[in-house]
Structure 1
Amino acid sequence: MTARDFLSGRAEALADAPLDDSGFVLDDDPLAYDGDQLDREERASLRRVAGLSTELEDVTEVEYRQLRLERVVLAAVWCEGTAEDAENSMRELAALAETAGSEVLAGVVQRRANPDPATYLGKGKAAELRDIVVAEGADTVICDTELAPSQRRALEDVVKVKVIDRTALILDIFAQHAKSREGKAQVELAQLQYLLPRLRGWGESMSRQAGGQAAGGQGMGSRGPGETKIELDRRRINTRMAKLRREIKDMKTVRDTKRGGRKANQVPSVAIAGYTNAGKSSLLNRLTGAGVLVENQLFATLDPTVRRAETPDGRLYTLADTVGFVRQLPHQLVEAFRSTLEEVAEADLLLHVVDGSHPDPEGQISAVRSVLADVEATDVKEVIVINKADLADPEVIDRLRRHEKHSIVVSARTGEGMEQLRALIGDELPQPDIDVDVLVPYDRGDLVSRVHETGEVLTSEHVAEGTRLTARVDAELADDLSAYAV
């Protein structure tokens, strides 16, 4: 096992930047505008407080309790790829841990062909990890993969502190950040799916076998096997999961109805997708002034935001911000958030945002495309938006542009490249292609409004009988206008 001091202070995966008292980035640059930040005060009010512990100073003064901020050591098994890949994965795990509110003390990586099936790291190396935990004063170990239930229990028995895996950590972050009713239901469903195979029972809780009235001394004919405590827990979890699936299905109907209304009105849709912390919400704010929360941490956005915007030639379209992706995104979350991710699958254009300043942007692109394949969104027209151009290495940008032919370089923070992006969106969205020459009566102003919103007006003239228009429109609107053709 190689002990690496990746992690003193703030994780390197997050940019080193001055923070205010609430932990948000301070920036004196007048160009660095990220919208009105309508949710910032609410998110800040939920931040955890450092330097506290759960121990009672005096057991007689029960009301004076203190909270503990989790102090964690990271652990990983490096099976394939380069040492740089392993370190990047650890930095990302550190950023995830800090986003969840933990203090990262140290990180260790073991090089071996496969993880140990019993204790993940191997028995001897797990004992060394125990020594590091004691030396650092940690209370939690986080492993950089999804552990089998038996692996987690065996490793806990060795290190004598709580052990969680990458999946549980991501679920915890989602639980903290979910705000809408739909988001909370999706996260709870994912957590229950993760918990179900990991239920544990101890002592008498495993042996509650008396059923019916047997426990009350009712005698013969009333004794049954009953349910063990763990069986009862499983049944309750399955019942709750079934209820959550019904609720999410009902919410999906509402979302589908809204999406269907937009399609009926021939409003094109653009979806923003990409790796977590790539700058998707900043991009949405730049393009629409949406005022959604922008924060330099992972999974700041969970609830999708849909806003309307205009192309440079005046055509309306909708722009949807979606949840960010990450390597090894838990399959429970992909399933739970499937209805939300359908915003991407149903879009006319996908803006795939990539962090140009990240150590491994190609890895980010691959991880995002893997999740998009899971939700059957690979057929959507894709534009790679290389963000954070103000921080990225020019050589990295050149390399990305060579590999990704359909790409554009922008900085949502400074506004660089935004006009070119707006023009590109206008070019890539479906264009109206039917020429019409019509005289629309003044009592049909709704048709004139639709031509201006969804078509391309070539000439417009007001005459005594109505509005004379020549324009390019889509097939549906051309049918509605056919009665007024000149």
Structure 2
Amino acid sequence: MQSYTDTSFDGDQIDLAARHALRRVAGLSTELTDITEVEYRQLRLERVVLVGVWAGGTLAEAENSLAELAALAETAGSQVLDGLIQRRSHVDPATFVGRGKVAELGDAVTASGADTVICDGELSPSQLRNLEQEIGVKVIDRTALILDIFAQHAKSREGKAQVELAQLEYLVPRLRGWGETLSRQAGGRAGGQGGGVGLRGPGETKLETDRRRIRTRIARLRREIAGMRAARDTKRSSRVRHGVPSVAIAGYTNAGKSSLLNRLTGAGVLVEDALFATLDPTTRRARTADGREYTLSDTVGFVAHLPHQLVDAFRSTLEEVADADLIVHVIDASHPDPAAQVRAVREVLTDIGADSLPELLVLNKIDAADPEMLMRLRNEMSDALFVSAHTGEGIDKLRQVIEQDLPRPGVAMRVLIPYVRGDLVARIRTRGEVLQAEHQPDGTFMDVHVEPALAAELKPFIVDES
């Protein structure tokens, strides 16, 4: 059996193996095959043009944001054809990029043959409508793109419910009718104009009906998620009651959190070079060198400008971070701007009330990082640990620091446990800190620190030190 302390082991990759277990049988498809690979991609992938507004910060930051948008688009299954950035003092309230640039954007879409425009920001309903009318192709924003990725990757019942809730809350203010044919509203003699049989409805437009149905569905999803949250809280309270410390692995999306969890525990969690490969939190038990138990939780990755709908919908999942005893904040050392990732993650941590928790910075992917960037990061983040989940470098040091930073049991005791109560000795070693242990004729003498619940059970065995 493979030891989890072996740094050459990266988990059994159970989820990844399951995904790859489904194979297509050759020769059963009736699809036309006399097309080239290029034609196939053109048929199957959305062809998109990206557009961003550089309204503040440096050009490098604007370019990094657009590059991240391109990675998001590719993760969602699109083919990026072009990317444009406009320098403006502020986003245009009517068309996002300004009316003078809408025509240029339309020309770029026509020239590239794109069928979708993705804007690097959250569009208002009016901006969305104006752009689609002017350009003539589908327009989505960064928020809709992220929601789409979440919808593709969610696999648990709770994850799917959270994503659907976020999508519906995003959709409600953006519903719009497509002409008068969808209206069932009429008044008086069927409205007087073009009325008649079939149009004397309940006085409610289809748009209003859609909104009402969506709001009903939102209310139902919130109740379902609240019920799932109760089950999660029960599990969490059980760990707290038994004094099991918890460590949450948080960080930017694709920073290597799942790989790190696999290295530390052999969890076998899906590892994939893609944004938001992990949506459902995974919790695994681990042990310190002296035998104490603690939990490690892999959580959903954060991203700059994370939609507030997602933060609200995933709040029950993110509470796994907020209730942790220690946050292992994983940073991608190979990213062009790691500091920006740190700021984005800390914004979300503040939003969920986890900004006051102990934080351990971990720079991952040092094997892929530029040496000069790595040297600068070592100077700027002198308290951080530098590791590689891929090669195993620095993992042993990380494990030691985590064990040192775990909260210590608060009750100090000196007890003599009879040999017939070996179960108590095992629980002390698992959930407490043993300073001294000695076998004596009447039992096992132990100098320990334990949590209050276990201390109450050990009271009959306290050694009288007088």
Deviation readout 1:199-239 (Å, 9 max, x if unpaired): 0112345531259xx99xxx9xxx77531101110110000
What is the CA–CA distance in structure 1 between the aligned matches of 2:433 and 2:351, rounded to whole Å? 37
Per-residue deviation, 1:315: 1.2
Deviates more, 1:199-208 or 1:341-350: 199-208
Structure 2 residue identity aligned to 1:305: T
Match of 1:183 among 151, 159, 166: 159
For 1:119 and 1:45, locate their aligned partners in 2 and report how far apart those are by CA, in whole Å: 46
- When residues 42 and 128 of structure 1 are mapped into structure 2, their CA distance, relative to the original with a 3 A threshold, is farther
Q: 1:313: how far off?
A: 2.2
What do the CA deviations read for 1:364-396 (whole angstroms, capped 9, x no partner)?
A: 000000011110001110010011111123443
Match of 1:437 in 2: 414
Among 369, 382, 388, the residue aligned to 1:392: 369
Secondary structure at the counterpart of residue 39 of structure 1: helix
Q: Report the counterpart of residue 8 of structure 1 in structure 2.
A: none
User: Where does residue 74 of structure 1 map in the other structure?
Assistant: 50
Match of 1:157 in 2: 133
CA distance in 2, matches of 1:300, 1:33: 20
Give the counterpart of 2:295 among 308, 318, 331. Answer: 318
Task: Tell me the CA shift for residue 88 of structure 1.
Answer: 0.5
- State yes or no: 1:414 paired with 2:391: yes
Structure 1 residue 150, shift from structure 2 partner: 1.0
Q: Which amino acid aligns with 1:256?
A: D
Q: Which amino acid aligns with 1:429?
A: L
**What secondary structure is seen at the aligned counterpart in 2 of 1:472?**
strand
Separation in 2, partners of 1:420, 1:278: 19
In the alignment, which residue of structure 2 is the partner of 1:114? 90
Deviation at 1:108, TM superposition (A): 0.7
**Deviation (angstroms), 1:135:** 1.4
Give the letter aligned to residue 150 of structure 2: F
How do 1:2-401 and structure 2 match up within 5 A? 34-43=10-19, 68-209=44-185, 225-401=202-378
Q: Is the CA contact 1:34–1:294 (under 8 Å) kept in the aligned structure 2?
A: no
In the other structure, the counterpart of 1:467 is: 444
- CA–CA separation in structure 1 for the residues paired with 2:7 and 2:114: 41
Match of 2:51, as an amino acid?
A: A
Matched with 2:36 is none
Aligned-partner SS, 2:14:
coil
Structure 2 gaps, min length 5: 1-5, 24-30, 34-41
2:247–2:325 CA contact under 8 A, matched in 1: yes
Contact 1:205 1:229 in 2 (8 A): no
Q: Offset of 1:86 from its aligned partner?
A: 1.1
Cα distance in 1 between the residues matched to 2:348 and 2:46: 30
C-alpha displacement of 1:459: 4.1
Contact 1:325 1:368 in 2 (8 A): yes
Alignment of 1:448-463 (within 5 A): 448-461=425-438
SS in 2 for 1:432: coil
Answer whether contact 1:73 1:107 (CA < 8 A) is retained.
yes
Measured at CA, do residues 327 and 266 of structure 1 come closer, stay the same or move farther in structure 2, by a change above 3 Å?
A: same
Q: Deviations over 1:408-447 (max 9, x none)?
A: 1111110000110011011101123544332223453332
What is aligned with 1:425? 402
1 CA distance for matches of 2:269 and 2:374? Answer: 27
Taking the aligned partners of 1:160 and 1:31, their CA distance within structure 2 comes to 54
Residues 63-100 of structure 1 show CA distances to partners (whole Å, capped at 9, x for unaligned) of: xxx96310111011111111111110111000000000
Aligned to 1:19: none
**Off by >6 Å, runs of 4+ in structure 1:** none
> Is this contact kept in 2: 1:142–1:164, CA < 8 A?
yes
Instruction: Determine the C-alpha separation between the residues in 2 that align with 1:301 and 1:403.
Output: 29
Whether the 8 Å contact between 1:313 and 1:426 is mirrored in structure 2 is no
Report the residue type matching 1:447 in the other structure: L
What residue is the counterpart of 1:10 in the other structure? none
Aligned residues: 434
In structure 2, the CA distance between the partners of 1:475 and 1:225, relative to structure 1 (3 Å rule), is closer
Query: Is the CA contact (8 Å cut-off) linking 1:33 and 1:414 kept in structure 2?
Result: no
Tell me the distance in 1 between the aligned counterparts of 2:44 and 2:451. Answer: 61
**Structure 1: segments with no counterpart, 5+ residues:** 1-29, 48-54, 58-65
Q: For residues 453 and 33 of structure 1, do their structure 2 counterparts lie closer, same or farther at Cα, with a shift above 3 Å needed? A: closer
Alignment deviations for residues 155-178 of structure 1 (CA, whole Å, 9 cap, x no partner): 111211111100000000000000
* Aligned-residue identity in percent: 66
Structure 2 CA distance for partners of 1:72 and 1:44, relative to 1, 3 Å? farther
Q: Corresponding residue for 1:63? A: none
TM-score normalised according to structure 2 size: 0.87
- Is the Cα contact below 8 Å between 2:242 and 2:453 reproduced in 1? no
1:31 and 1:413 in contact (8 A); partners too: no
